[in-house]
A and B are shown apart, each in its own frame.
Chain A
Amino acid sequence: MCVDDALATAERECAELVALFILDTVGPRDVQERVSHEGFLGEAPSGRLLRALRRERKHQGVRELAEIAQRAEKRGIACRTDLEEGEFLTRALAAAQTEAPAVIFVAKRERAALARLMSGSRAEELKEAAPCEVTIHEGGNG
Chain B
Amino acid sequence: MTRRKALSIVIAFAVCAAIALAPTPDGLSREGQSAIAIFALCFVLWVSNALPLSVTSLLAIVLLPTLRVLPATRSFELFGSPVVFFILGAFILAAALMRSGLSTRLALAFLRRFGGSPRSLLAGVIFSGGFLAFWMPQHAVAALLFPIVLEIAHALRLQPVKSHYGRALFLALAWGAVIGGVATFLGGARNPLALGILRQHYDLSITFVEWLVAVAPFSIILMVCAYFLLVRDFGIDVKDVSMARDALDMKAKALGPLSRREKGVGIVMLITIVAWVTTGHVVGLASISIFAAVALFVLNLLEWKSVEEYVNWGVILMYGGAIALAAALHESGGARWIAHIAADRVAGIPPFWMLMVFAVAAAFLTEAISNVAAVALMLPICFGLAEGTGVSPVAVVFAVAVPAGLAFALPMGTPANAIAYSAGYFRLRDSFLAGALLKIIALVLFTLVVKFYWPVLGIGT
Contacts and interface: CB of A to CB of B under 8 A. Distances in A.
Q: Report which residue of B4, B52, B139, B410 has the largest number of chain A beta carbons within 10 angstroms of its beta carbon.
A: B139
A115 B415 CA distance: 16
A85 interface: no
Interface in A104-141: 109-112, 115, 118-119, 139, 141
Interface in A64-116: 109-112, 115
Contacts of A43: 309
B410 A119 contact: no
B154 A59 contact: yes
Interface residues of B, number: 45
Nearest to A31: B422
A52 B412 CA distance: 20
Contact of A37 (B312, B422, B428): B312
Interface string B399-433: 00000000000101011001100111001110010
B415 A34 contact: yes
B155 interface: no
A46 B53 CA distance: 17
B310 A38 contact: no
A41 B146 contact: no
Interface in B84-104: 91, 95, 98-99
A53 B422 contact: yes
A115 B311 CA distance: 29
Contacts of B52: 37
Contact of B160 (A31, A34, A141): A141
B184 interface: no
Contact of A41 (B137, B318, B372): B137
Interface string B61-105: 000000000000000000000000000000100010011000000
A109 to B, nearest CB: 8
Interface string B238-258: 000000000000000000000
Contacts of B147: 48, 52
B268 to A, nearest CB: 20
Given A38-B370, A110-B427, A52 B314 contact: no
Contacts of B309: 42-44
Contacts of A27: 422
Given A40-B91, A110-B429, A45 B144 contact: yes
Contacts of B4: 118-119
Contacts of B410: 112
Nearest to B315: A40
A42 B428 contact: no
10 contacts: A31-B418, A39-B312, A40-B91, A40-B139, A42-B308, A46-B143, A49-B419, A56-B424, A60-B424, A141-B424
The 9 closest A-B pairs by CB, nearest first: A39-B139, A40-B315, A44-B309, A40-B312, A42-B310, A37-B52, A39-B415, A52-B147, A49-B143
